[in-house]
Amino acid sequence: MSENRFAHLMLLPAGLWLLLLFLAPLGIVFAVSLGATDPLYQAVYGWNPGNFVDVFDPLFAPVLLRSVGFALATVVLCLLIGYPIAYYIARFGGRWKTLLIAVVVLPFLVNYLVRTYAWVAILSDEGLVNGILDTLKLSETGVQFVNTPYAVIGGLVYGYLAFMILPLYAALDRMDPSLIEAGKDLYGSRWQTFWHVTWPAAFQGVAAGCVLVFLPAVGDFISAQLLGGPGTYMVGNLIQQQFLEAQNWPFGAALTAVMMAFLLIWMSIYLRSAARASREARA
Amino acid sequence: MSPNGAKQNGEAIRFEGVTKRFGDTTAVDDLNLTIRSGEFFSLLGPSGCGKTTTLRMVAGFEQPTEGSVHLAGEPVEDVPPYRRNVNTVFQSYALFEHLDVEGNVAFGLKRRKVDKDEIRSRVAEALELVQLTGREHSKPAQLSGGQMQRVALARALVNQPSVLLLDEPLGALDLKLRKQMQVELKEIQREVGITFLYVTHDQEEALAMSDRIAVMDQGVVQQSGPPEEIYETPQKTFVAGFIGVSNLLPATVEDGGIRLATGQLVHATVPTDCPAGTSVHCSVRPEKIILEDLEDGMVSLEGEIVERIYLGTTTQVILELGPNLRVISLEQNTDRSRADDRWEIGERIKVGWRPEHALVLR
Amino acid sequence: MSTQGWAERLPVLGRRATRRRRRRRGFDRPRFLRAFFWIFMFFTFAPLAIVALFSFNSTPSLQQFDGFSLQWYDEFLSSATLRESLMASVEIGLVTMVVGTVLGTTLAFALVRARSRVAQASNLVMLIPLVTPEIVAGASALVLFAQIGIELSLATIMIAEITFSISFVTVIVRARLSALNREVEEAALDLGATRMQTIRLIVLPALWPAILAAGLLIFALSFDDFVIAFFTTGESPTPLPVQIYSSIRFGVRPTINAIGTSMLLISFLILAVAVLLPRLLGRREEENVLIGRDAA
């Protein structure tokens, strides 16, 4: 058997699996999103594009906007916190570099749920922080940390920070420090050096990190569920609700489809600009 | 060790109209060649000339787009590499890193389910042939380049193939080791009697080792024959230029000879397919160029010395016969011990050669 | 030390930073970065340390540590439900690891060796699960099982987890596979090994570190996974993360500390195995090389 034919044979097991158990379900979701529920709360196929209109209904639109907003805030914070860390290790880590980055990433290997729960334990009304405030008599009734947007965003940041740090570190580590010296000679001004030398190299890492944080953050519902309340619901909570509580699958599917579409658009924008960037870099 | 499956004094490999195309590129173009069994045959040419592709078609890693390859008289299109009685020594040695030397050499025999005791004796024999006895349990990572090369050779030879294919096997070795291996390979081939098909871009290597050479360029065999023939009587400008150093003087054919670009008409044997007016090259080997001590009947020109290069055993003198018309002359330093013993740069001296040493080529 | 160049980054991000909080102005020395680094380490490890600490608390309090006790661990391990959940998670992890690794490795092989438009399309299909948000993954799996009529159980979780693990394995194994020297495989074929024998004797031995790493990764991912499991789980047993989630919703706090700390330890354990195993197995080869190496 020729090599090519053999290789194509190897394509079958996983290929079929993904086709039937990944692509097909996505198609079914789309079909369901156009469906409706019958009195028994079973999803029935049909042509109800109204489901998609409902997605943007004033009742739910704030949830969508909030999801995007929270996700963006998460990206910004992850960037602010992650960049100095990645830079510090890449630039000053020396031979401990790999160890340092491993140790930094270590907490993020723990189950996301457990990590979020940790913050719940600390920030809740019966939690550690309020306990300390109480002991130090700094507050009478305790401070409401949880059930606020800040807690949710904080949870999101704590959840996805590693996805920002790692690509940033990879990009910064790859950069040659002598380029900065050369840049300072060439450009004179520190600002110019940054803009022309440092930024282009770091940018790829920044872009990758932003995408890797933004995409999952938009769809996240654990932080909002545990650290927030109905006032801080995100799209993820809504979808989860529709599927598992309200049994309104068509609407849930519509939400899912809209979210998928939204993310795919950003994904393709990123991929195209990344491809363009690497083509330019090669040239 | 004697080869199996080979017809003694018969043909080992035959290419009939073999063409290989990759998309729009033609790597091998209408190749017709017969390689006799027991021969040391080299495919010589620059990168991209199609020699490696040709080798791979014999091994079975590529299939011809047109034409057919025959091994021992039988066509082999449908035969996969693992069923051909052919073994390859790869340029990168391609040893199995996780097996030791013995495991590597025994690999082919184990595939053929050869009896364990016979494996052991044949492996020992093969290692002795390549002078690696005692290194059975070393891993490739512990070996030097030259040693890895020998293991690759032993691994191929132990199977007693009818043809051994070698793809630029000495390319990664340093000069001294390479020269040493060239001699060893030639000796091994003579001892074992297997047909060797050798691919290289190093023309000196091909000249030193081969019984016959095929010079290839852009997928086409330019000339094939014994080394002396290729060197002394190249039939194409490309061959003359590729093999050894050659002076190629542009000229035009006229009645009775050729007119050089210097304006002189010299006598030379003109091939019958070059009518008057044809643009040709007059090819003269540097060692055939004589300076100053010309005799009657020789072609005689005048040139100015522009460079003088002392190479130890020889001295190279570069002379300008006319604008953009230079020749290189090579002389043995038998009577000389310093470079500047004889010629001064800027001197104008007589340059010449025997008419029979000049070839008119297209 | 050319850290001065880096201070220039400030104006770009400083604009955004001042809109939210005022921090990090005028740093141009590693001293500041170092301090920031250690503060960062504190804040990332502290929550986990606190959970671990309070898991040994003798009282249910989350505010003060009253004494050392293993009662919460006892409660965790003596609860049949929780024990079952732990076992369920381990089962899910193991099955996903085995099936996902096999599927992912064959796919990696196909993507590296096959040349055709089908192969290119497959590459794209393989990448999509990596960027699919977990909630979409969970929802679509749920919809699939419902429409086909399969009852939710551990098996449905496994199927969903495998689906989204394949891509991780493929990416990891493919990287290693494409780095292998093709001539070595050709040598094997040349010496009489069939394609299957070549894969078994030559390719797999070279590939196993990547396969092992990928397997451990997807074990950890599926063991820890919450969202997909949440959507595709049956009544009982539910995997541990789902159990934790329900518990948190009901506010049963102290035992969760113990569960959380246990999961933490398991994650670190898997990581340790992933890092040390190849080194241990590779050390033997290294030693041979060092001992046997002589000038040749």
**What dihedral angle (degrees, nearest 10) is formed by the CA atoms of A79, A80, A83, A86?**
-100
User: Is C139 close to A124, i.e. CB distance below 8 A?
Assistant: no
Taking residue A12's Cβ as centre, other Cβ atoms within 10 Å add up to: 12
Q: Which residue of B has its CA nearest to C192?
A: B82
Select from C183, C189, C206 the Cβ nearest to the Cβ of B92. Answer: C183
pLDDT tens digits, one per residue of C96-153: 999 999 999 999 999 988 888 888 888 888 888 888 888 889 999 998 998 888 888 8
Chain A residues near residue C36 by CB distance under 8 angstroms? 84-85, 88
pLDDT of C21:
39
> C206 — contact with chain B (CB < 8 Å)?
yes
Q: Mind listing the domains of chain B with CATH numbers? A: 11-232 (3.40.50.300), 245-361 (2.40.50.100)
Of C25, C49, C24, nearest in space to C37 by CA: C24
Q: Which residue of A has its CA nearest to C50?
A: A118
Q: Tell me the ipTM for this assembly.
A: 0.80
pLDDT band at residue B5 using 50, 70 and 90 as cut-offs: very low
Chain B residues near residue C176 by CB distance under 8 angstroms? none
d(CA C57, CA C54): 5
pLDDT tens digits, one per residue of A85-114: 988 888 787 788 888 888 888 888 888 888
Select from C126, C230, C248 the Cβ nearest to the Cβ of A120. Answer: C248
Q: Is the peptide bond before C60 cis (omega within 30 degrees of 0)?
A: no
Kindly list the distances between the CA atom of residue B345 and the CA atoms of A270, B303, B305, in Å, as whole numbers in the listed order: 66, 11, 5
Chain A residues near residue C132 by CB distance under 8 angstroms? 260
> A109 — contact with chain C (CB < 8 Å)?
yes
A236 to chain C, closest Cα gap in Å:
7
Residue that has been written with the tokens 């439900």 in this structure: C81
Chain A residues near residue C126 by CB distance under 8 angstroms? 14, 18
Percentage above 90 pLDDT, chain A: 12
Percentage above 70 pLDDT, chain A: 92
CB A35 within 8 A of CB A48: yes
Residue that has been written with the tokens 């989204």 in this structure: C164
> A271 — contact with chain C (CB < 8 Å)?
no
Query: Which of these ranges, A154-158, C209-213, C291-295, has the smallest mean pLDDT?
Result: C291-295
Query: What contacts C191, CB < 8 A, 6 or more positions away?
Result: B82, B87, B107, B108, B111, B155, B156, B159
CB B234 within 8 A of CB B243: yes
Q: For chain A, what are the domain ranges? A: 1-33, 48-282
> A250 — contact with chain C (CB < 8 Å)?
no
Give the gyration radius of chain C's Cα atoms. 25
C202 to chain B, closest Cα gap in Å:
7
Chain C residues near residue A184 by CB distance under 8 angstroms? 2, 5
Chain A residues near residue C146 by CB distance under 8 angstroms? 43, 249
Select from C184, C192, C205 the Cβ nearest to the Cβ of B82. Answer: C192
pLDDT tens digits, one per residue of C165-212: 999 999 999 988 988 888 999 999 999 999 889 989 999 998 888 898
Query: Which of these ranges, A170-174, B180-184, C158-162, has the smallest mean pLDDT?
Result: A170-174
pLDDT of B150:
92
Q: Mind listing the domains of chain C with CATH numbers? A: 81-250 (1.10.3720.10)
Q: What backbone phi and psi angles, to 5 degrees, belong to B89?
A: -105, 115
CA angle B101, B106, B112 (to 5 degrees): 160
* Residues in chain B, overall count: 362
Chain C residues near residue B142 by CB distance under 8 angstroms? 289, 292-294, 296
Using a cut of 0.90, tell me whether the model's pTM lies above it.
no
> Which structure tokens are listed for C127?
């990448």
DSSP symbol at C9: H
d(CA A157, CA A223): 10
CA angle A170, C215, C229 (to 5 degrees): 95
pLDDT band at residue A1 using 50, 70 and 90 as cut-offs: low
> Which structure tokens are listed for C218?
């997807």
User: Is C144 close to A23, i.e. CB distance below 8 A?
Assistant: no
User: Is C245 close to A126, i.e. CB distance below 8 A?
Assistant: no
CB B18 within 8 A of CB B53: no
B44 sits in which H/E element: strand B40-44
Mean pLDDT over the full length of chain B: 88
CB A201 within 8 A of CB A174: yes
pLDDT of C2:
41
User: Is A85 close to C40, i.e. CB distance below 8 A?
Assistant: yes
d(CA B260, CA B324): 13
pLDDT tens digits, one per residue of A61-90: 888 888 899 999 999 999 999 988 988 888
Chain C residues near residue A222 by CB distance under 8 angstroms? 226-227, 245
Q: Which residues of B touch C (CB under 8 A)?
A: 59-61, 80-83, 86-88, 90-92, 94-98, 107-108, 111-112, 137-139, 141-144, 147, 155-156, 159
Among residues 261-290 of chain C, which lie with CB inside 8 Å of chain B? Answer: 285, 288-289
Q: Hey, what amino acid is at B76?
A: V
d(CA C141, CA C135): 10
Most confident by average pLDDT, A138-142, B127-131, B163-167, C115-119 = B163-167
Select from C183, C186, C191 the Cβ nearest to the Cβ of B111. Answer: C191
Chain A residues near residue C131 by CB distance under 8 angstroms? 215, 263, 267
Among residues 22-61 of chain A, which lie with CB inside 8 Å of chain C? Answer: 22-26, 28-29, 32, 43
CA angle C109, C111, C117 (to 5 degrees): 145
- Which CATH fold would you assign to the domain A48-282? MetI-like fold (1.10.3720)
pLDDT of A39:
66
Q: Which residue of A has its CA nearest to C266?
A: A110
Residue B135 half-sphere exposure toward CB, CA atoms < 13 A = 27
User: Is B81 close to C194, i.e. CB distance below 8 A?
Assistant: no
Residue B236 has pLDDT above 80, yes or no: yes
pLDDT band at residue B171 using 50, 70 and 90 as cut-offs: confident
CA angle A254, A260, A263 (to 5 degrees): 140
User: Is A117 close to C51, i.e. CB distance below 8 A?
Assistant: yes
Mean pLDDT over the full length of chain A: 82
pLDDT of C12:
43
Rounded to whole angstroms, the maximal C-alpha distance in chain B is 75
Query: What contacts B120, CB < 8 A, 6 or more positions away?
Result: none
**What dihedral angle (degrees, nearest 10) is formed by the CA atoms of B290, B293, B298, B302?**
70
pLDDT of C291:
47
Select from C191, C205, C292 the Cβ nearest to the Cβ of B98. Answer: C205
Q: Which residue of C has its CA nearest to A211?
A: C131
Residue A71 backbone class (left: φ over 0; alpha: ψ -120 to 50; beta: rest): alpha
pLDDT tens digits, one per residue of B251-307: 888 877 888 887 788 877 787 777 888 888 888 899 998 888 888 888 888 889 998
Q: Which residue of A has its CA nearest to C227?
A: A222
Which candidate in C176, C185, C191, C291 is best for mutational testing of the B interface (most B CBs within 10 A)? C191
State the angle between helix axes of C154-178 and C80-113 in degrees (0 to 180), rounded to the nearest 10. Answer: 40
d(CA A239, CA A230): 14
Select from B142, B143, B155 the Cβ nearest to the Cβ of C191. Answer: B155
> C235 — contact with chain B (CB < 8 Å)?
no
Residue B347 has pLDDT above 80, yes or no: yes
Q: Hey, what amino acid is at B216?
A: M
3-state SS class at B139: coil
> C115 — contact with chain B (CB < 8 Å)?
no
State the angle between helix axes of C204-224 and C253-292 in degrees (0 to 180), rounded to the nearest 10. Answer: 170
d(CA A184, CA B150): 53
Chain C residues near residue B108 by CB distance under 8 angstroms? 191-192
Q: Which residue of A has its CA nearest to C186?
A: A3
Percentage above 90 pLDDT, chain C: 31
d(CA B104, CA B95): 7
User: Is C102 close to A13, i.e. CB distance below 8 A?
Assistant: yes
Q: What backbone phi and psi angles, to 5 degrees, belong to B31?
A: -90, 125
pLDDT tens digits, one per residue of C237-262: 899 899 888 888 776 567 888 888 88
Of B293, B343, B295, B294, nearest in space to B315 by CA: B343
Contacting subunits of C (3+ beta carbon pairs below 8 A): A, B
Chain B residues near residue C208 by CB distance under 8 angstroms? none
Contacting subunits of B (3+ beta carbon pairs below 8 A): C
